[in-house]
Structure 1
Amino acid sequence: MDATPAATWDLVSDVTRIGEFSPETFEARWRRGYDGPEVGAKFKGHVRRNGVGPTYWSACTVTACEPERLFEFSVGTDGTQVNNWGYRLEPKDGGTLVTEYFRLETSLPMRAYWTALGFLRKRTNENGMRTTLERMKAVLEEGQA
């Protein structure tokens, strides 16, 4: 992205803006007294899977928070994490290389789900990450971050 790591960090770590970028999570709110990124901070994301169907709220917890380098969060309750999402930032050619990633937790129910339907979800996740990053890039490069 043609933006500094600082500007990019400000955007990817502001969960309240995810609705501008994600094709599935259309809003998010900090909760339990948190108002910004830090390890342990709680927020909830309002999701419509594949952009259709019913909506639901997902509980999330920030698991890694290194300004201008790494922002990661887990999805699930305090006792049961379902998956992790994150953004890695690296300075590159005067801008920032951003890598969004997804990591599945390895509980037995999740392994069964991914064995049966994982190929579909993998494609949806890849397309969603591409869309999210393209939308973020447009905002950063237009100077609207």
Structure 2
Amino acid sequence: MRFADGPTTECAVRVAAGVARVWELVTDIELPARFSPELQRVRWLDGADRPVLGARFEGHNHHAVLGDWRTVSHVVELDAPRAFGWVVVDPDNRFGEPLPDPEASIARWRFDLQPCDDGTTLLRHTVRIGPARSGLTLAIERRPADEEQLVATRLDSLRAGMRETLRGIKALAEQAG
């Protein structure tokens, strides 16, 4: 897969808890930083204290190869208790032209919750990379012949972090139940 294809990956887990409890956890924007190997901390911006359409939050990330960087995310989807989605932009021009427009995002993230007949919840976590510039595009520019491998490696890395986040959410949700 090439960057222009909008690389996407998804992970899912069945959680032995009701959808209301899982929703409470996935909409806590600070929670993923407890489990993610890349996301270090998060905070709401503009006086927001919970997800609402258009709300923004700041994330601080670290990657062994890319170093440290800051992002700003915009809540673009909120369908309680079914879907929570946000797009990530590069506010500091770390990867190229700063594009504060959510339509030109570095990535689009989403949680989907599906209640199951047995009282459990199927939780999916999805990311689509691009179309805006990111650390991945910098790597591709340095090694264009390796683009497909670089995309695959980045998706593998994101998937590993997503699995950790889902494991953490599952543990917390089931612990409370």
TMscore range, shorter length = 0.7 to 0.9
Q: Which has the higher contact order (CA 8 A, sep 6+)?
A: 2
Alignment match, 2:40 = 26
Counterpart contact for 1:39–1:64, Cα < 8 Å: yes
Map 1:26-105; keep pairs closer than 5 Å: 26-49=40-63, 54-76=67-89, 77-79=99-101, 80-92=104-116, 93-105=118-130
Query: Counterparts of 2:74 and 2:66 in 1: how far apart (Å)?
Result: 25
Q: Whole-Å Cα distance in 2 between the matches of residues 105 and 119 of structure 1?
A: 14
CA distance in 2, matches of 1:15, 1:136: 12
TM-score, scaled to structure 1: 0.87
Q: For residues 82-128 of structure 1, give each alpha carbon's deviation from its aligned partner in whole angstroms, at most 9, with x where no partner exists.
A: 11011000001211100000012335x56954972201101101111
One-letter identity of the residue aligned with 1:81: S
Question: What is the SS of the residue equivalent to 1:68?
Answer: coil
- Counterpart Cα distance in 2 of 1:29 and 1:98: 23
Q: Kindly indicate whether the alpha-carbon contact (under 8 Å) linking 2:114 and 2:123 is maintained by their aligned counterparts in 1.
A: yes
Mapped partners of 1:104, 1:21: distance in 2 = 20
**Count of residues in Structure 1 that have an aligned counterpart in Structure 2:** 142
Structure with more strand by fraction: 1
Task: Give the match for residue 121 of structure 1.
Answer: 154
State the alpha-carbon separation in 2 of the partners of residues 122 and 18 from structure 1.
18
Where does structure 1 differ by over 6 angstroms across 4 or more consecutive aligned residues? Answer: none
Question: Counterparts of 1:49 and 1:71 in 2: how far apart (Å)?
Answer: 25
Give me the whole-angstrom Cα distance separating, in 1, the residues matched to 2:23 and 2:30.
14
Q: Percent identity?
A: 30
Distance (whole Å) between structure 1 residues aligned to residue 174 and residue 38 of structure 2: 23
Structure 1 equivalent of residue 5 of structure 2 = none
Choose 1 or 2 for highest CA Rg: 2
Contact 2:105 2:131 (C-alpha < 8 Å) held by counterparts:
no
Q: Secondary structure at the match of 1:132?
A: helix
Aligned partner of residue 131 in structure 2, secondary structure: coil
TM-score normalized by structure 2?
0.72
Distance in 1 between the 2:130 and 2:57 partners?
19
